[in-house]
Amino acid sequence: DSIVVEKEESKSRHSLACPVCYDSLTWNADPGLSVDTVPGSSFQCSTCQKTYVGNQTHLDLTATAGAKSYGEPMPASTELFRHSSSLSFTSYKMVPLISFLYERGWRQTFSAWGGFPGPEKEFEMMKGFLKPVLGGNIIDASCASGLFSRLFAKSGLFSFVVALDYSENMLRQCYEFIQKEENFPKENFILVRADISRLPFVSSSVDAVHAGAALHCWPSPSAAVAEISRVLRPGGVFVATTYILDGPFSVIPFLSTIRQTVRQVSGSYITLSERELEDLCRACGLVGFKCIRNGLFVMISATKPS
């Protein structure tokens, strides 16, 4: 269906916040924040006085940004996509294989074993959930190589798109993809490195958050969804895809115990039912839970109360 969208002045240009104290950041660049103006720009928090600097591909807004000696290991499912942040841009061609293969075969396997309809079909499905907030800004959380981030930007359905991931590798891969695309709307797009459980955005400043095939990889889904609820404006929409081990899997003895073991080893969170996901959203202050199923695949949506 053809949807006419009246673009608003981007709210996301004014919603970046310090991940330490959540106060707004000010920056020294042209007000037109974009993927081209981030490199070399500095962003400062007036409260804690911390400064964040944009590199050649993305803006690092993690709490430990700028730390030289201190670092924290993440769960295996997160570290799988990461590399040392000291890797220079000129040596980018040496990134780990996972990031390179994500859109070159890896993502396609989700359809084979998990029932994922495929990016184009998933994009069409989520547009129905996102219809109330079209024309606003959107965060593509845990964006990986930016598969859906780029679709959001090129669709023109949103005034501003933030491609957000914890992996420097994935963000660099996304940057390479958009550099190769002709007429990509870079002026309405930025890449941000951030922790999903500590989102660097002002409270109630974001119209929509999308998380594609990511929720099961988050170290703490409850902390992440609570953060998403915090940054969403009243009426804002959260859409996510993941997989559920229910149906015939639910009769497997000790499945809950197996899930805990898998979680401790890999950091992956296996969801056992739609009700569990609905409970998660409700506990984090989101309402109007909806879902679409296809085998193990599930797309969910919930809204910040108006």
Please give the C-alpha separations between residue 157 and each of 29, 136, 208, in angstroms, as whole numbers: 26, 8, 12
Give the pLDDT score at 256.
Answer: 56
d(CA 22, CA 85): 24
CB burial string 254-271: b at 16+ within 10 A, e below: eeeeebeeebeeebbbbb
Q: What is the pTM of this model?
A: 0.81
What is the full per-residue pLDDT of the chain (306 aa) written as tens digits? 444 444 344 333 459 999 999 999 998 766 678 999 999 889 999 899 999 999 999 999 999 998 888 767 655 544 444 443 323 232 233 345 554 555 555 555 666 556 788 889 999 999 999 999 999 999 999 999 999 999 999 999 999 999 999 999 899 999 999 999 999 999 999 999 999 999 999 999 999 999 998 998 898 999 999 999 999 999 999 999 998 877 555 555 555 555 455 455 444 566 668 999 999 999 999 999 999 998 889 999 999 999
d(CA 161, CA 136): 9
Sketch the domain layout of the chain as residue ranges: 87-304
d(CA 95, CA 179): 17
Q: Which amino acid is at 224?
A: A
Give the pLDDT score at 107.
Answer: 58
Give the pLDDT score at 231.
Answer: 98
Domain 87-304 maps to which CATH number in 3.30.70.100, 2.30.33.40, 3.20.20.100, 3.40.50.150? 3.40.50.150
Count the Cβ atoms, other than its own, within 10 Å of residue 102: 20
DSSP secondary structure of the chain: ------PPPPSGGG-BB-TTT-PBEEESS-SS--TTTSTT-EEEETTT--EEEB-SS-EE-STTTT-SS------HHHHTT---TT--GGGGGG--HHHHHIIIIITTHHHHHH----HHHHHHHHHHHHGGGTTSEEEEET-TTTHHHHHHHHHT-SSEEEEEES-HHHHHHHHHHHHHSTT--GGGEEEEE-BTTB--B-TT-EEEEEESS-GGGSS-HHHHHHHHHHHEEEEEEEEEEEEB--GGGGGSTTHHHHHHHHHHHH----B--HHHHHHHHHHTT-EEEEEEEETTEEEEEEE---
